[in-house]
Amino acid sequence: MITPQPAGFLCLVLHAHLPFIRHPEKQYTMEENWLYEAITETYIPLLTYFNNLIDDEIPFKITMSLTPTLCSMLDNELLQNRYAAHIGRLIELAEKEVRRTRYDRAMNRAAWMYLDRFSLCKHVFEDVYGRDIVPGFKRLQDAGVLEIVTCAATHGYLPNMRSNAVAVRAQIEVAVQSYQNFFDRPPRGIWLPECGYYQGLETILSQYGIRYTFLETHGILNANPVPPAGIYAPVRCGEAHVAAFARDAESGKSVWSADEGYPGDPHYREFHKDIGFDLGLNYIAPYIDPAGIRINTGVKYHRVTDKRNPEKQLYDRETALSRAAAHASDFISKRTEQIKNIARATDSPPVVTAPYDAELFGHWWFEGPEWLNFLIRKCALEQNVFRLTTPSEYLDNYPETHICAPAFSSWGDGGYSHVWLNETNEWIYPHLHRMEDCMVQCAHGLKDTERGGLKERTLNQMARELLLAQSSDWAFIMKTGTTVEYATRRVKEHIASFWKLYETVTTGDGDEGFVGLLEGHNNIFGGIDFRVYKDTQGPRRT
């Protein structure tokens, strides 16, 4: 039987990223919870649903970025052990909640739901994946249903590094090496941190075999010349063999918009009302910050109700799931009409690229994984206008034909660099630029005969400290005003460590104790070679 040619394609892209946060020197750090929450609410649910789809023989294709920092944390034994303890505490809390709410039918159903979910997470984490879930995503890629793309090494905002092309290349080269280590193949695509693009970046990407990336809508609509298919076909960036897929704002609005997006439905679970803040301190103390600071536990009993009214009604899971199914049907209906209309004006079947932060699904939007599950099933079984695809599959079938120069852009507020360069965080960049220049000088200053030993270890750790300081997350946090003290401290610590290491290199007074301390603390990229900062105009060969 010949499968009919679809009118177009939908490319779903989930960007999974967290900054590298690991504090072996402390028993508890609030910011480490970001990882534990994401594992429980996003990564394990996605893994579970994707595997269920395979078991049910539902054809699908989806794309995810798994950033090097995220993979490194998921692969880290200390954090794996701490997550195991974390999910154990949540199970204990849910068991207490089942008993506490036994006389309130609605709350008790929700309490049982949390107990079941936490118990499933423990089973998947411990028994199915042996505490390491990265191979679970790898197996999905090997099965041909998931395409995993990389990202810059520490999610550094590349346009703010463009004054030093070697620093940009180092972010890319370390990322490619990390991807190869985790997935046993080179990456075909890359998620540019914050979708930050500037002209010339594609040349660096092509040197590392990167075949495609993703840009914000106006990066393509403002391209020179404007591509005839607009954002609905990949373009070739200049003379480099790198294709760019543009974000479709229309499909994004249905999920992202605070006013029109699905997550604002009154029947969905309310994110901002958690028992970590609502219950008595004596009762909740073992499950929040040991210092008594109240935090989210993930146990929430109320629904959005009315976004303008602080009084919230109780959450009903079955009603919420019915809304998720209805919203999946609505999304498909809108994409169907959209693709039909676009197909009439394009030579090749159009592709609608719909990228989202992965953590939106489950963490911020509790029903997000269920919506995605419904969406994939309905795409396969209830319509034949479009098919799900990945960037590689689309390029294999419809190679990019239009060559243009995309415009400088990002997907941050305002569409350019204001989020990562403003009065709250501008102080970072003079330090980073000095460190970048210094790292390049050091990479050229060590003779090959000096390989091995304390001096090389020191320079390798300097490279780690620079990469970690470059993370776009710190500047973003300073702008949004969330955990500013932590972000500021992290940047200052990496800067100070870098220059203390440099001092020992220049004076010849090696400090093995200090180097070892940092190697144990900031132990990302175990095989890093500081020579990635050599100005070779291409990938370094060893």
Cβ atoms of residues 11 and 351 within 8 Å: yes
Cβ atoms of residues 406 and 197 within 8 Å: yes
Taking the C-alpha atoms of residue 526 and residue 8, their distance in angstroms, rounded to an integer, is 43
- Let me know if 227 is exposed, middle or buried by CB neighbors in 10 A (0-12, 13-18, 19+): buried
For 48-52, 289-293, 478-482, 524-528, which range has the lowest pLDDT when averaged over its residues?
289-293
Cβ atoms of residues 467 and 174 within 8 Å: yes
Taking the C-alpha atoms of residue 381 and residue 373, their distance in angstroms, rounded to an integer, is 12
Query: Could you tell me if 380 and 489 lie in one domain?
Result: no
Query: Could you tell me if 361 and 327 lie in one domain?
Result: yes
Query: Could you tell me if 177 and 144 lie in one domain?
Result: yes
For residue 520, pLDDT beyond 80: yes
H helix intervals, 134-263: 134-142, 165-183, 201-207, 217-221, 249-256
| Distances, alpha carbon 17 to alpha carbons 2, 139, 213, 283, 473, in Å | 40, 19, 16, 33, 10
Residue 204 lies in a domain: yes
* DSSP collapsed to 3 states, 113-147: HHHHHHHHHHHHHHHHCCCCCHHHHHHHHHCCCEE
For 33-42, 291-300, 531-540, which range has the lowest pLDDT when averaged over its residues?
531-540
Taking the C-alpha atoms of residue 144 and residue 343, their distance in angstroms, rounded to an integer, is 27
Please compute the mean of the pLDDT values over residues 298-313 and round it to a whole number: 93
Taking the C-alpha atoms of residue 263 and residue 254, their distance in angstroms, rounded to an integer, is 9
Supply 189's token pair: 């695509």
Closest to 20 in 3D by CA, of 30, 36, 32: 32
Residue 1 lies in a domain: no
Find the largest Cα–Cα distance for the chain. Answer: 74
Closest to 202 in 3D by CA, of 220, 182, 218: 220
* C-beta pairs of 449-455 under 8 Å, 24+ apart in sequence: 454/510, 454/512, 454/515, 455/505, 455/510
Query: For residue 2, what pLDDT is reported?
Result: 53
Number of structural domains found in the chain: 2
171-185 pLDDT tens trace: 999 999 999 999 999
* Helices and strands in the chain: count of H runs, count of E runs: 20, 10
Query: Could you tell me if 367 and 428 lie in one domain?
Result: no
Query: Could you tell me if 383 and 433 lie in one domain?
Result: no
**Residue with token string 């480099």:** 240
Residue 122 lies in a domain: no
For residue 542, pLDDT beyond 50: no
> Does residue 19 have a cis peptide bond before it, meaning omega lies within 30 degrees of 0?
no
Query: Could you tell me if 393 and 444 lie in one domain?
Result: no
- Which runs of E-coded beta strand occur in 381-435? 386-388, 403-404
377-421 pLDDT tens trace: 999 999 999 999 999 999 999 997 799 999 999 999 999 999 999
Please compute the mean of the pLDDT values over residues 182-196 and round it to a whole number: 98
Cα within 13 Å of Cα(540), Cβ side = 20
Residue 209 lies in a domain: yes
Supply 414's token pair: 């305002």
> Looking at this protein, which amino acid is placed at residue 131?
R
Query: Could you tell me if 140 and 168 lie in one domain?
Result: yes
Q: What angle do CA 155, 161, 165 make, to 5 degrees?
A: 110
Average pLDDT, the chain: 95
Query: Could you tell me if 57 and 167 lie in one domain?
Result: yes
Taking the C-alpha atoms of residue 194 and residue 415, their distance in angstroms, rounded to an integer, is 10
Please compute the mean of the pLDDT values over residues 238-264 and round it to a whole number: 92
For 169-173, 347-351, 533-537, which range has the lowest pLDDT when averaged over its residues?
533-537
Write phi, then psi, for 357 (nearest 5 degrees).
Answer: -65, 130
Please compute the mean of the pLDDT values over residues 46-67 and round it to a whole number: 98
Which residue segment(s) compose the domain that 491 sits in? 423-533
**Residue with token string 């500037």:** 198
For residue 104, pLDDT beyond 50: yes
Residue 488 lies in a domain: yes
Taking the C-alpha atoms of residue 430 and residue 160, their distance in angstroms, rounded to an integer, is 11
Residue 418 has what DSSP assignment? Answer: G
For residue 540, pLDDT beyond 60: no
Residue 305 lies in a domain: no
Q: Assess whether 289 carries a catalytic annotation.
A: no
Query: Could you tell me if 335 and 431 lie in one domain?
Result: no
For residue 33, pLDDT beyond 60: yes
526-535 pLDDT tens trace: 999 999 999 8
Supply 50's token pair: 């994707």
Cα within 13 Å of Cα(346), Cβ side = 25
Confidence of residue 284 (pLDDT cuts 50, 70, 90): very high
Closest to 18 in 3D by CA, of 4, 38, 3, 2: 38
Taking the C-alpha atoms of residue 185 and residue 75, their distance in angstroms, rounded to an integer, is 18
Query: Could you tell me if 153 and 235 lie in one domain?
Result: yes
Query: Could you tell me if 382 and 452 lie in one domain?
Result: no
Cβ atoms of residues 395 and 353 within 8 Å: no
Catalytic residue among 41, 75, 173, 194: 194
Q: Assess whether 194 carries a catalytic annotation.
A: yes
Please compute the mean of the pLDDT values over residues 162-179 and round it to a whole number: 98
Please compute the mean of the pLDDT values over residues 469-495 and round it to a whole number: 98
Strand partners, 405: 224
Cβ atoms of residues 53 and 373 within 8 Å: yes
Residue 465 belongs to a domain with what CATH number? 1.20.1430.10
Please compute the mean of the pLDDT values over residues 497-510 and round it to a whole number: 92
Confidence of residue 538 (pLDDT cuts 50, 70, 90): low
Taking the C-alpha atoms of residue 186 and residue 203, their distance in angstroms, rounded to an integer, is 17
Confidence of residue 445 (pLDDT cuts 50, 70, 90): confident
Residue 350 belongs to a domain with what CATH number? 3.20.110.10
Q: Crossing angle for the helix pair 428-445 and 165-183, nearest 10 degrees?
A: 80
Query: Could you tell me if 398 and 499 lie in one domain?
Result: no
198-208 pLDDT tens trace: 999 999 999 99
For residue 162, pLDDT beyond 80: yes
DSSP 257-304: -TTTSGGG-TTSBPTT--HHHHS-HHHHGGGS-TTS-----S---BB-
Query: For residue 228, what pLDDT is reported?
Result: 94
Please compute the mean of the pLDDT values over residues 327-331 and round it to a whole number: 98
Residue 86 lies in a domain: no
Catalytic residue among 92, 95, 357, 511: 357
Residue 411 lies in a domain: no
> Looking at this protein, which amino acid is placed at residue 286?
P
